[in-house]
């Protein structure tokens, strides 16, 4: 392919996992990143979409 141009576009979905999160939260992380990726793709080529923050893990919430 010497001398030929190759067009490349990428979209990314980003999500954050809180320190000490449970395994269930890790599964949620993948789902939220996937949703963000599809949002980026719907918005057009070459986009990055960031997932909304996950709700606090109910197992780590203080009682009451």
The predicted-structure confidence for 8-22, as pLDDT tens digits, reads as follows 889 999 999 888 888
> Which domain range does residue 29 map to?
24-54
Backbone angles phi, psi at 29, to 5 degrees: -55, -45
Residue 62 reports pLDDT greater than 80: no
* pTM of this prediction exceeds 0.75: no
CA distance 22 to 15: 15
Number of structural domains (the chain) is: 1
Q: Residue 57's pLDDT is what?
A: 56
Task: Identify whether 4 is part of a domain.
Answer: no
Task: Identify whether 5 is part of a domain.
Answer: no
Task: Identify whether 44 is part of a domain.
Answer: yes
Task: Identify whether 38 is part of a domain.
Answer: yes
Task: Identify whether 7 is part of a domain.
Answer: no
Report, as an integer, the average pLDDT of 33-53: 93
């Amino acid at each position: 392919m010497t001398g030929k141009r190759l067009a490349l576009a990428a979209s990314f979905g980003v999500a954050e996992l809180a320190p000490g999160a449970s395994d269930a939260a890790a599964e949620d992380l993948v789902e939220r990143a996937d949703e963000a990726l599809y949002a980026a793709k719907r918005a057009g080529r070459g986009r990055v979409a960031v997932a909304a923050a996950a709700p606090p893990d109910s197992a780590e919430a203080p009682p009451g």
